Amino acid sequence: MAILDIRHLRYYYRTRRGAVKAVDDVSFSIDSGKTLALVGESGCGKTSTATAILRLLPRNVETYEGQVLIDGQDVMAYDADEFRRKVRWRGISMVFQGAMNALSPTARCGLQVAEPLMVHYDVEKEEAIEAARAELKSVGLPDYVAERYPHELSGGMKQRVVIAMALIMKPRLVILDEPTSALDVMTQANIINLLKRLLHETGLAYLFITHDLGLASELANDVAIMYAGRIAEIGPATDVYRSPQHPYTQKLIQSVPLLRSEIAPEFIPGAPPDLTNPPLGCRFHPRCPYAFEPCGWSSSEFASILGEEVPPAGAEKIHISHVAKFGTKDPWTLVASPSGETNVSALASELRDLAARWRASVPFLRAIDDIREGDGRVIVKLHQGRSPELIGRDSHRAACWLLQDGGTTVGE
Amino acid sequence: MESDSVKENAGPSFPEGEYPLVQLDDLRTWFSFGRSLFRPPVSVRAVDGVSLSILQGETIALVGESGSGKTTLGRTILRLVEPTDGRLLYAGMDITHAWQKDLIWLRRRSSIIPQDPYSSVNPTFPVYRILDEPLAVQHIGTRAERSERIDRALENVKLNPPSLFVQKFPHQLSGGQRQRVAVARAMILEPEFIVADEPVSMLDASVRISILRLLRQIQERFRIAFLYITHDLATARHFSDTVGIMYAGKLVEIGPVGSIMGEPLHPYTQALMEAIPDPDPENRLRERPALPGEPPILTGPPPGCRFHPRCPIAKAGLCEVEEPPLRELRPGHWVACHLAS
């Protein structure tokens, strides 16, 4: 049975600009002795997923729902006190990003590592520190470290102290949030080796959060690629790395500069979306080179692209003159009013020409279903987009419309 | 630059061609502290005897771990820091100990792209003022000419259309866009030499590549020499012509990118390359070779070769005694190791 199983987890928080949909229907599970790497760009909801699992919620949380099962037990039903006693540290502990800089400067490392034992199990201080010494030894630190203050240690040693702290309560799962991001490459390699060793020696499991696909491959049995609050692709590391299905995963893999290859890295044009107002349909469609009819181009996206705010790459050449303004009636209906120099039928035929001519090379134009005239305006009907489900064979699944009709492979 | 109203020295001129723009000769930058009546000062030997030359239009990547002295070296070359010893030549002119007020020409001909796009631009300035300031300081052009130049700079860094960006404040821009503004600012005086100090380490992986591509395009178009300071050997491989590896204030290996990546000769470079994972699901199945220990403290570096305490092949009686000089073991590829051949 899976140690951690999360199902349809949603976690939104309120801001002045609306709810940020940081985690939006995320499901995955992790077995004992295994590592799931959660990979994505900054702001895609990786860390929010971790804090949602541990229920470390800010005050402005708006939605927090779904199921979090630890050893089959749904912990969402626990009240705050029960959750603290049974889940945090004991069931799941976490190594936070930059945690080595959050060690208390005024307490010796041994005491800091021992503290969870004293708080949760009422262990005597001396006994707890003795246990801390053993734990520090198991993460490869010399004896004297227990007596030292954090400022006396190097970055790599402090990171080992933090890992010892996460292990002292013998948790079932450790969440590692960018555990090596502030360290030098050599120290990083040493820490990763330590994490590998600990995984093999104990029955632990890791949820490994990183933006670095190279680093993820050091630990991952399974990989989940996250984009804009959703999982774009999930599966065994071998499948995801060797035959990525989602265009985002493909692009992400191509964007890694390789040390051992001449193949030049590519970048993904555009930027991740604003999660207060994520794109409709597939959230990746504005940056996707293969986006087609069902992917979810909306009328407001059309209005801003054709209204020449910021055209996406490849669409710079699309230029419409003689439009007074673009309006939107609903997400799938765009209304264009002609300016004084032209009339409705001329504008409609200009739009039709444009759509026919650039359809093949400029993805968003494929979303046009029909162009009609009416009421002195041109009405552009768009294909309705829907959010794609995660589908695929066995455990390797991706959420992409290109895969929805029987699992064809994306790309050339 | 033609509309120059100031009579300052334009700096040295030199013939076109493969002439070194910057030349370092046994350059040292030490920082001293703790000076008192009874104690000699303690010196941090951040840069300790580095010799190299940078050609016009060349990108040279300086790779090293934190504390290896790479940033100090970059700042010393731009004379933001005064060297302690050695010689620093810019276009053949000795600027090792030149006065700042005699270096205004250098400020016009060189610039820096800092690491952190979140703190390197003034948050109270709109993009227009950020880009206008270097021009104003150097008294270049009329208002209209400057505005024209700012638009062109924004187009060069692909912030299109410029009219959309000039009035924005940094907080309205994404990290990648801010770094593009920092690149535009470095470009605005049309320099011939730019020090890019970890220009992409704060950015997301996919954005990183677009900024590095942009720098490469700008460099090829305007024939700018770049000193790309980084800890990331993989981006150095793809975005530079020459790679220099620094360890504990010294250059341990330098050469053409293909030669270094194809056949690293210094044991430190070899260890560094082995420590970096490329994405591969089989990485999980093996330990990654990594050196134990940490780089030395630069107030009292080890005698002999500074890498010897961590070196897997160090030879007793040689490596801890004698400091290895840089030797040319392959064409243009220099290594400071007694045992490399």
Global ipTM: 0.86
Cβ within 8 Å, pair A156-B294: yes
pLDDT of residue A308: 61
Given a cut of 50, the residues of chain A with pLDDT beneath it are 406-412
Q: Which of residues 36-55 of A touch B (CB under 8 A)?
A: 41-42
CB atoms within 10 A of CB B231: 18
CB of A154 within 8 Å of any CB in chain B? yes
Distance CA A283, CA A279 (A): 5
Domain boundaries, chain A: 4-254, 297-382
Which of A102, A108, A75 has the alpha carbon at shortest distance from A90? A75
Cβ within 8 Å, pair A253-B279: yes
Indicate the CATH number of A4-254 among 3.40.50.300, 3.20.20.70, 3.40.50.1220, 3.10.310.30: 3.40.50.300
Which of B132, B184, B127, B124 has the alpha carbon at shortest distance from B157? B184
CB of B144 within 8 Å of any CB in chain A? no
The partner residue sitting opposite B271, judged by closest CB among A186, A265, A271, is: A186
Say if residue B245's pLDDT is above 60. yes
CB of B300 within 8 Å of any CB in chain A? no
pLDDT of residue A377: 85
Residues of chain B found within 8 Å of residue A185, distances taken between Cβ atoms: 65, 231, 233, 272, 275-276
Which of B58, B188, B160, B176 has the alpha carbon at shortest distance from B117? B176
In what helix (H) or strand (E) does residue B316 lie, and over which residues does it extend? none
CB of B133 within 8 Å of any CB in chain A? no
Q: Which residue of A has its CA nearest to B277?
A: A214
Cβ within 8 Å, pair A214-B287: no
CB of B248 within 8 Å of any CB in chain A? no
Burial of A163 per CB tally in 10 Å (0-12, 13-18, 19+): buried
CB of B235 within 8 Å of any CB in chain A? yes
How confident is the model over B11-42, as pLDDT tens digits? 777 666 667 899 999 999 999 887 777 888 88
pLDDT of residue B98: 92
| Of B1 and A77, more confident | A77
Question: How far does the CA of residue B244 sit from the closest CA of chain A (Å)?
Answer: 15
Residues of chain A found within 8 Å of residue B245, distances taken between Cβ atoms: none
Distance CA B250, CA B253 (A): 9
pLDDT of residue A411: 42
What is the pairing mode between strands B20-33 and B85-90? antiparallel
Cβ within 8 Å, pair B279-A186: no
Residues of chain B found within 8 Å of residue A309, distances taken between Cβ atoms: 164
Residues of chain A found within 8 Å of residue B273, distances taken between Cβ atoms: 259
pLDDT of residue A53: 95
Mean of pLDDT over chain B:
90
CB of B16 within 8 Å of any CB in chain A? no
Cβ within 8 Å, pair B284-A218: yes
Distance CA B310, CA B296 (A): 10
Which of A137, A141, A128, A208 has the alpha carbon at shortest distance from A169? A128
Distance CA A240, CA A243 (A): 6
pLDDT of residue B5: 43
Cβ within 8 Å, pair B204-A252: no
Question: How far does the CA of residue B262 sit from the closest CA of chain A (Å)?
Answer: 9
Q: Which residue of A has its CA nearest to B230?
A: A184
CB of A254 within 8 Å of any CB in chain B? no
- Percent of chain B exceeding pLDDT 70 equals 96
The partner residue sitting opposite A241, judged by closest CB among B209, B279, B290, is: B279
In chain B, the N- to C-terminal Cα span, in Å, equals 49
Residues of chain A found within 8 Å of residue B290, distances taken between Cβ atoms: 186, 189-190, 193
CB atoms within 10 A of CB A345: 11
| Of B286 and A317, more confident | B286
Distance CA B37, CA A386 (A): 77
Q: Are B19 and B98 in contact (CB under 8 A)?
A: no
Q: Which residue of B has its CA nearest to A236?
A: B281
* pLDDT range class, residue B121, cuts 50, 70, 90: confident
pLDDT of residue B6: 46
CB of B326 within 8 Å of any CB in chain A? no
